[in-house]
């Protein structure tokens, strides 16, 4: 009887695994992927913060400290180049950590000390060598050529990946990353475009910085190498710009993204410890999805910071849409939406602090928030709070739930400035024009 029970348990595990891996675009859930999934789950559990408000409080303190320093510092001390050609004014605490240093080119890895919010422990390829992408092609999915981006991201060792020159990289199929990598597009103009997107799956410790991602298409799948020692059969990819799946300690900073077939950024299937900052997002329908489905309770550990981003022209909805987890939406500028800005289902906690929400002209789209698949008697218990947000053009945030009692460390929670400060804080959102020996 015991052997029968063990056999049934084994097949039940395979059923659950295959269901999860179907969404993961993995056609062959072999021993390698099983091991990766188990390790990633343990890493995500370790990265999860039981008292997340301590993180938001830390973020809040950093913003306040930055503003106090900025007010007490002369403009001369912040002078230098910027993407707009004027003085370098680091307008938020993440940028102040590195942007106005003329020697950033010789000390690129300083960036790894600058993350804030839930992704603050992310260091990417800090402990690895530099790898220079010299070839924008992506012709061989099983044996990528040295010099290509795909060759760099499948290496076992940590790597800090930079680029020799301006490039438009059309990925033939999804770019599957290994752990401990930084993709750093500073100093050049890098576009991941007109092909597949970036997949961060069952890994940890990834930084994606200062690149354009747009016009991403669904991939056809097939045999794709995902590490030096393994390749496997993949199903069709969805067409996300960046897909985060079962991964932790992820920082996405200063990206410009638009017009992807599915989402711009998705974080699902037990991903956590993520910061998305200083991004510029435009021309898209379903912008960000955090949480795989209402039935997958594994996303309860999801913890994400959205900070200093500009949600701009041509956006429709999901900035973000959240299930299960905890999201700190702090000092972002929402200048455009057609349906709603922040939504969710399955009782997520959403703390909105110091954002600017400018409602569209449509009188039926003034509400910032949208709740799905629950009657009011149920969603009134969800903790959705608006604190210090600036509402313009009739925008309103429908709050709910009791006071948030969860606590986080100072490093996990960015302290919000009032919404009136947002235009300045997000002034340099999106990719920056950085030149050697000049501040960015």
**3-state secondary structure at position 2:** helix
Tokens of 321: 């849409």
Please tell me the distance from the alpha carbon of residue 388 to that of residue 223, in angstroms, as a whole number.
50
What class does CATH assign to 44-425?
mainly beta
pLDDT of 76 strictly over 80: no
- Give me the mean pLDDT over the 335-343 stretch: 97
Proportion of the chain above pLDDT 70, given as a percent: 88
The pLDDT of residue 67 is 58
Confidence of residue 23 (pLDDT cuts 50, 70, 90): low
pLDDT level of residue 98 (50, 70, 90 thresholds) = very high
- Tell me the average pLDDT across 360-366: 97
Share of the chain above pLDDT 90, in %: 80
Answer with the residue of higher pLDDT: 51 or 227: 227
Q: What is the mean pLDDT of residues 424-435?
A: 96
Output the pLDDT for position 86: 57
CA pair distance 181, 159, nearest whole angstrom: 5
Asked if pLDDT for residue 177 goes beyond 70, the answer is: yes
Counting Cα atoms < 13 Å in the Cβ hemisphere of 391 gives 13
Backbone φ, ψ for residue 409 (5° rounding): -75, 165
* Residue 239, CA atoms < 13 Å, CB-side half-sphere: 15
Mean pLDDT of 369-386: 96
Question: Out of 2-6, 135-139, 330-334, which region has the weakest mean confidence (pLDDT)?
Answer: 2-6
- For residue 361, what pLDDT is reported? 97
C-alpha angle with apex 112: 108 to 118, nearest 5 degrees?
Answer: 150
230-234 vs 222-227, strand pairing mode: antiparallel
- The three-class DSSP label of residue 67 is helix
116 CB burial (10 A radius; 0-12, 13-18, 19+): buried
pLDDT digits (tens, 9 = 90+) for 215-228: 999 999 999 999 99
Q: Is 318 a catalytic residue?
A: yes
- For residue 410, the model assigns a pLDDT of 74
Task: Tell me what the mean pLDDT of segment 17-22 comes to.
Answer: 48
Q: What is the pLDDT of residue 226?
A: 97
**Phi and psi angles of residue 267, each rounded to the nearest 5 degrees, phi first:** -130, 110
pLDDT value of residue 413: 83
pLDDT tens track for 275-318: 999 999 999 999 999 999 999 999 999 999 999 999 999 999 99
Model confidence pLDDT, tens digit, residues 265-274: 999 999 999 9
pLDDT attached to residue 146: 98
Of the candidates 89, 108, 150, 318, the residue annotated as catalytic is 318
**What pLDDT, on the 0 to 100 scale, is given for residue 403?**
83
């Amino acid at each position: 009887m015991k052997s029968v029970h063990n056999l049934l348990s084994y097949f039940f595990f395979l059923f659950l695994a295959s269901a999860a891996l179907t969404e993961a675009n993995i056609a062959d859930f072999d021993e390698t992927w099983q091991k990766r999934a188990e390790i990633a789950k343990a890493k995500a559990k370790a990265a999860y913060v039981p008292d997340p408000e301590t993180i938001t409080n830390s973020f809040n303190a950093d913003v306040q400290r930055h503003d106090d320093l900025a007010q007490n510092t002369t403009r001369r001390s912040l002078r230098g180049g910027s993407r707009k050609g004027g003085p370098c004014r680091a307008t938020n605490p993440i940028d102040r950590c590195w942007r106005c240093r003329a020697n950033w080119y010789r000390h690129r890895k300083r960036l790894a000390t600058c993350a804030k919010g839930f992704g603050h422990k992310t260091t990417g390829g800090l402990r690895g060598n530099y790898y220079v992408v010299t070839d924008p092609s992506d012709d061989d999915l099983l044996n990528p050529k040295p010099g290509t981006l795909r060759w760099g991201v499948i290496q076992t060792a940590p790597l800090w990946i930079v680029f020799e020159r301006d490039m438009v990289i059309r990925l033939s199929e999804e770019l599957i990353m290994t752990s401990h990598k930084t993709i750093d597009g500073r100093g050049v103009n890098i576009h991941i475009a007109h092909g597949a997107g970036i997949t961060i799956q069952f890994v940890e410790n990834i930084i994606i910085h200062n690149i354009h991602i747009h016009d991403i298409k669904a991939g056809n799948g097939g045999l794709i190498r995902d590490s030096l020692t393994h390749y496997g059969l993949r199903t069709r990819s969805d067409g996300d710009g960046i897909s985060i799946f079962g991964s932790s300690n992820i920082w996405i900073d200063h990206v410009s993204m638009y017009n992807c077939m599915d989402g711009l950024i998705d974080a699902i299937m037990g991903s956590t410890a993520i910061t998305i900052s200083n991004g510029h997002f435009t021309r898209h329908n379903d912008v960000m999805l955090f949480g795989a489905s209402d039935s997958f309770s594994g996303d309860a550990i999801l913890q994400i910071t959205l900070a200093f981003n500009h949600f701009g022209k041509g956006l429709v909805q999901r900035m973000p849409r959240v299930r299960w987890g905890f999201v700190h939406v702090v000092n972002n500028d929402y200048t455009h939406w057609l349906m709603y800005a922040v939504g969710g289902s399955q009782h997520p906690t959403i703390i909105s602090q110091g954002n600017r929400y400018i409602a569209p002209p449509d009188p039926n789209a003034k509400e910032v928030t949208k709740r799905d698949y629950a009657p009011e008697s149920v969603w009134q218990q969800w903790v959705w709070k608006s604190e210090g947000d600036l509402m313009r053009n009739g925008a309103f945030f429908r709050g709910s739930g009791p006071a948030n009692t969860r606590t986080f460390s100072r490093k996990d929670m960015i302290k919000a400035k009032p919404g009136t400060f947002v235009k300045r804080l997000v002034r340099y959102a999106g990719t920056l024009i950085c030149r050697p020996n000049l501040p960015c």
